[in-house]
Structure 1
Protein backbone atom coordinates (compact mmCIF):
# COMPACT_ATOMS: atom_id res chain seq x y z
CA UNK A 1 0.00 0.00 0.00
CA UNK A 2 1.31 3.49 -0.81
CA UNK A 3 2.10 5.59 2.26
CA UNK A 4 -0.47 8.10 3.48
CA UNK A 5 0.20 11.73 2.70
CA UNK A 6 0.75 12.35 6.40
CA UNK A 7 3.68 9.92 6.20
CA UNK A 8 5.04 12.05 3.36
CA UNK A 9 5.00 15.06 5.64
CA UNK A 10 7.10 13.19 8.21
CA UNK A 11 9.50 12.18 5.43
CA UNK A 12 9.90 15.83 4.43
CA UNK A 13 10.61 16.92 8.00
CA UNK A 14 13.29 14.23 8.27
CA UNK A 15 14.81 15.34 4.96
CA UNK A 16 15.12 18.92 6.22
CA UNK A 17 16.88 17.63 9.32
CA UNK A 18 19.32 15.50 7.26
CA UNK A 19 19.97 18.09 4.56
CA UNK A 20 21.05 17.55 0.95
CA UNK A 21 24.43 17.90 -0.74
CA UNK A 22 23.25 19.08 -4.15
CA UNK A 23 26.63 18.39 -5.77
CA UNK A 24 26.24 14.62 -5.45
CA UNK A 25 24.95 13.01 -8.63
CA UNK A 26 24.36 16.38 -10.30
CA UNK A 27 25.95 18.19 -13.22
CA UNK A 28 25.52 21.87 -12.38
CA UNK A 29 27.96 24.71 -13.06
CA UNK A 30 29.30 25.60 -9.64
CA UNK A 31 31.97 28.13 -10.56
CA UNK A 32 30.93 31.79 -10.77
CA UNK A 33 33.08 34.74 -9.82
CA UNK A 34 30.14 37.14 -9.42
CA UNK A 35 28.51 37.26 -5.97
CA UNK A 36 25.30 35.25 -5.93
CA UNK A 37 22.11 36.96 -4.76
CA UNK A 38 20.07 35.23 -2.06
CA UNK A 39 16.70 33.81 -3.07
CA UNK A 40 14.26 31.18 -1.79
CA UNK A 41 11.47 29.02 -3.18
CA UNK A 42 8.52 27.36 -1.47
CA UNK A 43 8.32 23.62 -2.23
CA UNK A 44 4.73 23.19 -1.11
CA UNK A 45 3.30 19.68 -0.74
CA UNK A 46 -0.12 18.58 0.47
CA UNK A 47 -3.45 17.05 -0.39
CA UNK A 48 -4.54 19.88 -2.65
CA UNK A 49 -7.80 18.50 -4.05
CA UNK A 50 -9.78 15.33 -4.65
CA UNK A 51 -8.14 14.47 -7.99
CA UNK A 52 -5.77 11.51 -7.50
CA UNK A 53 -2.71 10.76 -9.58
CA UNK A 54 -3.07 8.65 -12.69
CA UNK A 55 0.01 6.64 -11.74
CA UNK A 56 0.18 4.14 -8.92
CA UNK A 57 3.52 3.53 -7.17
CA UNK A 58 5.23 3.99 -3.82
CA UNK A 59 3.88 7.55 -3.37
CA UNK A 60 0.39 8.35 -2.10
CA UNK A 61 -1.91 9.11 -5.06
CA UNK A 62 -3.35 12.19 -3.33
CA UNK A 63 0.03 13.85 -2.67
CA UNK A 64 0.67 16.98 -4.75
CA UNK A 65 3.19 19.77 -5.17
CA UNK A 66 2.40 23.36 -6.18
CA UNK A 67 4.09 24.73 -9.32
CA UNK A 68 3.67 27.70 -11.64
CA UNK A 69 4.73 28.77 -15.12
CA UNK A 70 6.83 31.91 -15.39
CA UNK A 71 5.96 34.55 -17.98
CA UNK A 72 7.76 34.27 -21.31
CA UNK A 73 8.76 37.95 -21.10
CA UNK A 74 10.93 37.61 -17.99
CA UNK A 75 14.67 38.23 -18.29
CA UNK A 76 15.68 34.91 -16.68
CA UNK A 77 14.10 31.43 -16.67
CA UNK A 78 11.42 32.80 -19.02
CA UNK A 79 8.53 30.42 -19.62
CA UNK A 80 9.88 27.78 -17.28
CA UNK A 81 7.83 25.88 -14.73
CA UNK A 82 8.99 26.86 -11.26
CA UNK A 83 8.26 26.86 -7.57
CA UNK A 84 6.76 30.03 -6.11
CA UNK A 85 9.58 32.18 -4.79
CA UNK A 86 12.10 34.84 -5.59
CA UNK A 87 14.84 37.09 -4.34
CA UNK A 88 15.05 37.80 -0.62
CA UNK A 89 14.26 41.29 0.63
CA UNK A 90 15.93 43.11 3.56
CA UNK A 91 12.65 42.84 5.46
CA UNK A 92 12.62 39.01 5.29
CA UNK A 93 13.71 37.50 8.59
CA UNK A 94 15.08 34.40 6.87
CA UNK A 95 14.81 32.29 3.72
CA UNK A 96 11.57 30.64 4.86
CA UNK A 97 9.92 34.02 5.43
CA UNK A 98 11.06 35.22 2.01
CA UNK A 99 9.81 32.10 0.23
CA UNK A 100 6.42 32.36 1.91
CA UNK A 101 6.12 36.08 1.17
CA UNK A 102 6.93 35.53 -2.49
CA UNK A 103 4.45 32.63 -2.71
CA UNK A 104 1.68 34.80 -1.28
CA UNK A 105 2.49 37.62 -3.71
CA UNK A 106 2.63 35.28 -6.72
CA UNK A 107 -0.24 32.87 -6.02
CA UNK A 108 -2.48 34.58 -3.45
CA UNK A 109 -2.37 31.58 -1.11
CA UNK A 110 -3.32 32.02 2.55
CA UNK A 111 -0.06 31.73 4.56
CA UNK A 112 -2.01 30.70 7.66
CA UNK A 113 -2.61 27.32 6.03
CA UNK A 114 1.07 26.68 5.23
CA UNK A 115 3.37 24.88 7.67
CA UNK A 116 7.04 25.47 6.89
CA UNK A 117 8.89 22.21 7.60
CA UNK A 118 12.45 23.52 7.43
CA UNK A 119 15.00 24.53 4.81
CA UNK A 120 17.42 22.71 2.56
CA UNK A 121 20.98 23.64 1.66
CA UNK A 122 21.11 26.64 -0.70
CA UNK A 123 21.47 25.68 -4.38
CA UNK A 124 23.69 27.84 -6.67
CA UNK A 125 22.00 28.88 -9.93
CA UNK A 126 24.75 30.70 -11.88
CA UNK A 127 22.64 31.23 -15.01
CA UNK A 128 20.55 33.77 -13.08
CA UNK A 129 23.24 34.61 -10.51
CA UNK A 130 21.26 33.40 -7.48
CA UNK A 131 21.86 31.22 -4.44
CA UNK A 132 18.44 29.63 -3.91
CA UNK A 133 17.25 28.05 -0.66
CA UNK A 134 14.48 25.45 -1.16
CA UNK A 135 11.91 25.64 1.66
CA UNK A 136 9.82 22.45 1.97
CA UNK A 137 6.35 23.14 3.38
CA UNK A 138 3.03 21.40 3.99
CA UNK A 139 -0.35 22.77 2.93
CA UNK A 140 -2.36 21.94 6.04
CA UNK A 141 -5.31 24.16 5.06
CA UNK A 142 -5.36 24.61 1.26
CA UNK A 143 -6.61 27.90 -0.13
CA UNK A 144 -7.43 29.17 -3.60
CA UNK A 145 -4.42 30.06 -5.77
CA UNK A 146 -4.03 31.81 -9.11
CA UNK A 147 -1.46 33.68 -11.18
CA UNK A 148 -1.72 37.02 -9.38
CA UNK A 149 0.72 39.04 -11.50
CA UNK A 150 0.58 38.05 -15.19
CA UNK A 151 3.83 39.92 -15.79
CA UNK A 152 5.62 37.25 -13.73
CA UNK A 153 3.37 34.17 -13.69
CA UNK A 154 0.91 32.94 -16.32
CA UNK A 155 -0.51 29.88 -14.55
CA UNK A 156 -0.47 28.19 -11.16
CA UNK A 157 -1.27 24.51 -10.80
CA UNK A 158 -0.82 21.37 -8.69
CA UNK A 159 0.88 18.20 -9.91
CA UNK A 160 0.46 14.74 -8.33
CA UNK A 161 3.82 13.55 -7.05
CA UNK A 162 3.01 9.97 -8.12
CA UNK A 163 2.76 11.21 -11.71
CA UNK A 164 6.10 13.03 -11.43
CA UNK A 165 7.95 9.92 -10.23
CA UNK A 166 6.24 7.65 -12.77
CA UNK A 167 9.08 6.31 -15.01
CA UNK A 168 6.94 7.01 -18.08
CA UNK A 169 7.10 10.73 -17.23
CA UNK A 170 10.82 10.93 -16.45
CA UNK A 171 13.49 12.05 -18.94
CA UNK A 172 16.62 14.13 -19.34
CA UNK A 173 17.12 17.47 -21.05
CA UNK A 174 20.23 18.65 -22.86
CA UNK A 175 21.05 22.34 -22.98
CA UNK A 176 24.09 24.51 -23.60
CA UNK A 177 25.61 26.78 -20.97
CA UNK A 178 28.98 28.55 -21.11
CA UNK A 179 29.82 26.67 -24.31
CA UNK A 180 29.18 23.19 -22.92
CA UNK A 181 26.22 20.81 -23.15
CA UNK A 182 24.71 19.78 -19.82
CA UNK A 183 22.23 17.00 -19.11
CA UNK A 184 19.74 17.36 -16.30
CA UNK A 185 16.58 15.60 -15.07
CA UNK A 186 13.16 16.53 -16.39
CA UNK A 187 9.52 15.58 -15.89
CA UNK A 188 7.02 15.50 -18.77
CA UNK A 189 3.53 15.48 -17.24
CA UNK A 190 0.20 16.65 -18.64
CA UNK A 191 1.71 18.35 -21.67
CA UNK A 192 4.18 20.31 -19.52
CA UNK A 193 7.94 19.80 -19.19
CA UNK A 194 9.51 20.60 -15.83
CA UNK A 195 13.27 21.06 -16.20
CA UNK A 196 16.18 23.18 -14.99
CA UNK A 197 16.50 24.16 -11.35
CA UNK A 198 12.98 23.01 -10.43
CA UNK A 199 13.48 19.55 -11.89
CA UNK A 200 16.90 19.20 -10.27
CA UNK A 201 15.46 19.98 -6.86
CA UNK A 202 12.46 17.67 -7.25
CA UNK A 203 14.54 14.82 -8.67
CA UNK A 204 17.09 14.93 -5.87
CA UNK A 205 14.42 15.32 -3.19
CA UNK A 206 12.51 12.30 -4.51
CA UNK A 207 15.71 10.24 -4.47
CA UNK A 208 16.65 11.22 -0.92
CA UNK A 209 13.07 10.73 0.28
CA UNK A 210 12.95 7.22 -1.15
CA UNK A 211 10.07 8.15 -3.45
CA UNK A 212 11.95 7.79 -6.74
CA UNK A 213 11.31 4.89 -9.13
CA UNK A 214 13.96 3.57 -11.52
CA UNK A 215 13.66 5.20 -14.96
CA UNK A 216 15.46 5.30 -18.31
CA UNK A 217 17.98 8.16 -18.28
CA UNK A 218 18.63 7.66 -22.01
CA UNK A 219 15.28 9.29 -22.80
CA UNK A 220 15.69 12.96 -23.80
CA UNK A 221 12.98 15.62 -24.11
CA UNK A 222 13.18 19.19 -25.36
CA UNK A 223 12.98 21.78 -22.55
Structure 2
Protein backbone atom coordinates (compact mmCIF):
# COMPACT_ATOMS: atom_id res chain seq x y z
CA UNK A 1 0.00 0.00 0.00
CA UNK A 2 2.75 2.39 -0.97
CA UNK A 3 0.27 4.94 -2.35
CA UNK A 4 -1.65 5.30 0.91
CA UNK A 5 -0.99 8.68 2.60
CA UNK A 6 0.51 8.91 6.06
CA UNK A 7 -2.65 10.42 7.55
CA UNK A 8 -4.63 7.28 6.68
CA UNK A 9 -2.17 4.77 8.15
CA UNK A 10 -3.26 5.10 11.84
CA UNK A 11 -6.83 4.26 10.87
CA UNK A 12 -5.78 1.21 8.86
CA UNK A 13 -3.66 -0.02 11.75
CA UNK A 14 -6.56 0.19 14.18
CA UNK A 15 -9.02 -1.40 11.75
CA UNK A 16 -7.08 -4.66 11.92
CA UNK A 17 -8.42 -5.25 15.43
CA UNK A 18 -11.97 -3.96 15.09
CA UNK A 19 -15.10 -5.99 15.64
CA UNK A 20 -18.74 -5.41 14.74
CA UNK A 21 -19.33 -4.24 18.30
CA UNK A 22 -17.08 -1.25 17.67
CA UNK A 23 -19.61 0.03 15.11
CA UNK A 24 -22.99 -1.14 16.41
CA UNK A 25 -24.74 -2.45 19.49
CA UNK A 26 -26.68 -4.92 17.34
CA UNK A 27 -25.24 -8.43 17.12
CA UNK A 28 -24.74 -9.73 13.59
CA UNK A 29 -27.05 -12.71 12.95
CA UNK A 30 -25.45 -15.94 11.79
CA UNK A 31 -27.81 -16.72 8.93
CA UNK A 32 -31.49 -15.92 9.11
CA UNK A 33 -32.21 -15.10 5.50
CA UNK A 34 -30.45 -11.74 5.42
CA UNK A 35 -29.25 -10.50 2.05
CA UNK A 36 -25.55 -9.78 1.64
CA UNK A 37 -24.54 -6.29 0.55
CA UNK A 38 -21.52 -3.99 0.52
CA UNK A 39 -20.74 -0.28 0.55
CA UNK A 40 -17.62 1.61 -0.49
CA UNK A 41 -16.09 3.92 2.11
CA UNK A 42 -13.85 5.96 -0.18
CA UNK A 43 -11.21 8.23 1.32
CA UNK A 44 -9.69 10.89 -0.90
CA UNK A 45 -7.80 14.15 -0.56
CA UNK A 46 -8.06 17.53 -2.22
CA UNK A 47 -5.48 20.35 -2.18
CA UNK A 48 -7.91 22.96 -0.86
CA UNK A 49 -9.88 20.98 1.73
CA UNK A 50 -7.65 18.03 2.66
CA UNK A 51 -8.79 14.45 3.38
CA UNK A 52 -12.39 13.59 2.66
CA UNK A 53 -15.01 10.83 2.39
CA UNK A 54 -17.33 10.37 -0.59
CA UNK A 55 -21.08 10.05 -0.04
CA UNK A 56 -24.15 10.24 -2.23
CA UNK A 57 -27.70 11.40 -1.66
CA UNK A 58 -30.38 9.08 -2.92
CA UNK A 59 -33.10 10.53 -5.16
CA UNK A 60 -36.21 11.79 -3.38
CA UNK A 61 -38.39 9.73 -5.71
CA UNK A 62 -36.95 6.35 -4.72
CA UNK A 63 -39.32 3.90 -3.07
CA UNK A 64 -36.83 2.99 -0.33
CA UNK A 65 -34.42 5.31 1.52
CA UNK A 66 -35.61 8.31 -0.49
CA UNK A 67 -33.38 11.36 0.00
CA UNK A 68 -31.10 9.58 2.45
CA UNK A 69 -27.31 9.83 2.59
CA UNK A 70 -25.30 6.74 1.88
CA UNK A 71 -22.01 5.36 0.80
CA UNK A 72 -22.10 3.96 -2.73
CA UNK A 73 -23.22 0.35 -2.50
CA UNK A 74 -25.95 -2.22 -2.70
CA UNK A 75 -26.83 -5.88 -2.73
CA UNK A 76 -24.34 -8.51 -3.84
CA UNK A 77 -25.14 -9.82 -7.31
CA UNK A 78 -24.48 -13.40 -8.44
CA UNK A 79 -21.79 -12.02 -10.77
CA UNK A 80 -19.86 -10.45 -7.87
CA UNK A 81 -17.01 -12.66 -6.73
CA UNK A 82 -17.05 -11.07 -3.27
CA UNK A 83 -18.18 -8.00 -1.32
CA UNK A 84 -15.22 -5.96 -2.61
CA UNK A 85 -16.31 -6.57 -6.18
CA UNK A 86 -19.86 -5.62 -5.19
CA UNK A 87 -18.82 -2.32 -3.59
CA UNK A 88 -16.70 -1.31 -6.59
CA UNK A 89 -19.39 -2.28 -9.09
CA UNK A 90 -22.06 -0.35 -7.25
CA UNK A 91 -19.83 2.74 -7.01
CA UNK A 92 -19.22 2.58 -10.74
CA UNK A 93 -22.93 2.22 -11.47
CA UNK A 94 -24.08 4.91 -9.03
CA UNK A 95 -21.49 7.69 -9.28
CA UNK A 96 -19.34 6.75 -12.28
CA UNK A 97 -16.29 5.78 -10.22
CA UNK A 98 -13.47 4.12 -12.17
CA UNK A 99 -12.47 1.09 -10.04
CA UNK A 100 -8.94 1.28 -11.44
CA UNK A 101 -8.43 4.61 -9.62
CA UNK A 102 -8.94 3.21 -6.13
CA UNK A 103 -6.97 0.90 -3.87
CA UNK A 104 -8.95 -1.26 -1.46
CA UNK A 105 -7.16 -1.13 1.88
CA UNK A 106 -9.51 -2.87 4.35
CA UNK A 107 -12.90 -4.42 4.91
CA UNK A 108 -14.84 -3.68 8.07
CA UNK A 109 -16.79 -6.26 10.07
CA UNK A 110 -20.12 -7.19 8.53
CA UNK A 111 -22.92 -5.15 10.11
CA UNK A 112 -26.65 -5.86 10.33
CA UNK A 113 -29.29 -3.30 9.32
CA UNK A 114 -32.54 -4.60 10.85
CA UNK A 115 -34.91 -2.27 8.98
CA UNK A 116 -33.89 -3.78 5.63
CA UNK A 117 -32.54 -7.09 7.01
CA UNK A 118 -29.28 -6.59 5.12
CA UNK A 119 -25.85 -7.75 6.19
CA UNK A 120 -23.54 -4.95 5.02
CA UNK A 121 -19.78 -5.19 4.59
CA UNK A 122 -18.15 -1.74 4.39
CA UNK A 123 -15.15 -1.79 2.05
CA UNK A 124 -12.54 0.88 2.80
CA UNK A 125 -10.55 2.26 -0.12
CA UNK A 126 -8.04 5.00 -0.95
CA UNK A 127 -8.79 7.13 -4.01
CA UNK A 128 -5.28 7.38 -5.41
CA UNK A 129 -6.30 8.97 -8.73
CA UNK A 130 -9.43 11.11 -8.19
CA UNK A 131 -11.56 12.06 -11.16
CA UNK A 132 -14.92 13.81 -11.59
CA UNK A 133 -17.90 11.82 -10.33
CA UNK A 134 -21.62 12.51 -10.15
CA UNK A 135 -25.04 10.88 -10.34
CA UNK A 136 -24.79 8.18 -13.00
CA UNK A 137 -28.57 7.68 -12.87
CA UNK A 138 -30.47 10.75 -11.57
CA UNK A 139 -33.46 8.50 -10.92
CA UNK A 140 -31.44 6.85 -8.15
CA UNK A 141 -28.80 9.39 -7.09
CA UNK A 142 -29.55 13.09 -6.59
CA UNK A 143 -26.05 14.31 -5.79
CA UNK A 144 -22.54 13.21 -4.89
CA UNK A 145 -20.39 14.98 -2.31
CA UNK A 146 -16.86 14.69 -0.94
CA UNK A 147 -17.15 15.58 2.74
CA UNK A 148 -13.90 16.96 4.20
CA UNK A 149 -12.81 15.31 7.43
CA UNK A 150 -12.04 18.76 8.85
CA UNK A 151 -15.75 19.63 8.46
CA UNK A 152 -16.99 16.27 9.73
CA UNK A 153 -15.06 16.67 13.00
CA UNK A 154 -16.09 20.31 13.49
CA UNK A 155 -18.24 20.32 16.67
CA UNK A 156 -20.56 22.85 15.04
CA UNK A 157 -21.51 20.21 12.46
CA UNK A 158 -22.16 17.36 14.88
CA UNK A 159 -25.32 16.32 16.70
CA UNK A 160 -27.39 13.28 17.55
CA UNK A 161 -30.68 12.37 15.90
CA UNK A 162 -33.65 10.70 17.61
CA UNK A 163 -35.64 8.38 15.33
CA UNK A 164 -39.40 7.96 15.96
CA UNK A 165 -38.60 4.42 17.12
CA UNK A 166 -36.63 5.90 20.02
CA UNK A 167 -33.21 5.08 18.54
CA UNK A 168 -30.65 7.86 18.99
CA UNK A 169 -27.45 7.97 16.96
CA UNK A 170 -24.75 10.33 15.68
CA UNK A 171 -25.40 12.71 12.83
CA UNK A 172 -23.68 15.41 10.81
CA UNK A 173 -25.17 18.61 9.42
CA UNK A 174 -22.75 19.44 6.62
CA UNK A 175 -22.84 20.86 3.08
CA UNK A 176 -26.61 21.42 3.34
CA UNK A 177 -27.00 17.74 4.20
CA UNK A 178 -28.18 15.88 7.29
CA UNK A 179 -26.22 12.65 7.41
CA UNK A 180 -27.58 10.15 9.93
CA UNK A 181 -28.32 6.46 10.46
CA UNK A 182 -25.99 3.70 9.30
CA UNK A 183 -23.77 6.04 7.28
CA UNK A 184 -23.27 8.51 10.12
CA UNK A 185 -22.58 5.71 12.58
CA UNK A 186 -19.80 4.26 10.44
CA UNK A 187 -18.31 7.70 9.77
CA UNK A 188 -18.38 8.61 13.47
CA UNK A 189 -16.53 5.42 14.45
CA UNK A 190 -13.94 5.88 11.69
CA UNK A 191 -13.26 9.44 12.85
CA UNK A 192 -12.56 8.10 16.35
CA UNK A 193 -10.37 5.24 15.13
CA UNK A 194 -8.43 7.56 12.83
CA UNK A 195 -7.61 9.86 15.70
CA UNK A 196 -9.31 12.80 14.00
CA UNK A 197 -12.35 13.30 16.23
CA UNK A 198 -12.52 16.13 18.76
CA UNK A 199 -14.92 16.71 21.62
CA UNK A 200 -18.41 17.63 20.45
CA UNK A 201 -21.74 18.38 22.19
CA UNK A 202 -23.31 14.92 22.48
CA UNK A 203 -26.20 16.47 24.38
CA UNK A 204 -27.32 18.19 21.16
CA UNK A 205 -30.21 15.87 20.26
CA UNK A 206 -32.77 16.67 17.56
CA UNK A 207 -35.78 14.81 16.25
CA UNK A 208 -35.46 13.19 12.84
CA UNK A 209 -37.15 15.50 10.32
CA UNK A 210 -40.18 14.15 8.50
CA UNK A 211 -39.46 12.57 5.09
CA UNK A 212 -38.77 15.29 2.56
CA UNK A 213 -38.12 17.92 5.20
CA UNK A 214 -34.34 17.41 5.27
CA UNK A 215 -31.98 17.79 2.35
CA UNK A 216 -30.43 14.51 3.42
CA UNK A 217 -31.71 12.27 6.13
Is the pair's TM-score, using the shorter chain for normalization, greater than 0.5? Answer: yes
1:32 and 1:139 map into 2 onto residues whose CA distance is 33
Where does residue 152 of structure 1 map in the other structure? 140
Asked if the contact 1:70/1:77 (under 8 Å) is kept, the reply is yes
Partner of 1:134: 122
Match of 1:81 among 47, 69, 74: 69
Report the 3-state secondary structure (helix = DSSP H, G, I; strand = E; otherwise coil) of the residue aligned with 1:124. Answer: strand
Alpha-carbon spacing, 1:157–1:214, altered in 2? closer, same or farther (3 Å): same
CA RMSD, aligned part only? 2.1
Deviation (angstroms), 1:30: 6.5
Q: TM-score, normalised by structure 1?
A: 0.84
By how many angstroms is 1:36 displaced?
1.4
1:151-210 Cα distance to aligned partner (Å, 9 max, x none) = 211101111011101111110000023xxx010000111221110000011111111222
Residue of 19, 38, 41 corresponding to 1:40: 38
Asked if 1:218 corresponds to 2:203, the answer is yes
**Inter-CA distance 157–212: structure 2 relative to 1 (3 Å threshold):** same
In 1, the alpha carbon distance for the partners of 2:153 and 2:19 equals 19
Matched, 1:121 2:121: no
What CA distance in whole angstroms lies between the structure 2 residues aligned with 1:159 and 1:213? 17
Displacement of 1:216 after TM fit? 1.1
1:60-82 CA-to-partner distances (Å, cap 9, x unmatched) read: xx001111001122232221111
Segments of 5+ residues of structure 1 without an aligned counterpart are 53-61
State whether residues 29 and 112 of structure 2, in contact with CA within 8 Å, keep that contact through their aligned partners in structure 1: no
Q: Report the number of matched residues.
A: 205
Within 2, Cα distance between the matches of 1:217 and 1:153?
31
Within a 5 Å distance, the mapping from 1:193-204 to structure 2 comes to 193-204=178-189
> In the superposition, relative to structure 1, how do residues 90 and 38 fare at CA in structure 2: closer, same or farther (>3 Å)?
same
**1:23-55 superposed Cα distances (whole Å, 9 cap, x missing partner):** 3474558789952111100000011x3332xxx
Indicate if the aligned counterparts of 2:59 and 2:138 stay in contact, CA closer than 8 A.
yes
What's the TM-score once normalised by structure 2's chain length?
Answer: 0.87
Cα distance in 2, alignment partners of residues 106 and 96 from structure 1: 15
Q: 2:152 aligns with which of 164, 181, 186?
A: 164
Q: In structure 2, list runs of 5 or more residues that go unmatched.
A: 209-217
Work out which of the residue numbers 159, 172, 176 in structure 2 matches 1:191. Answer: 176
* SS across alignment from 1:143: coil
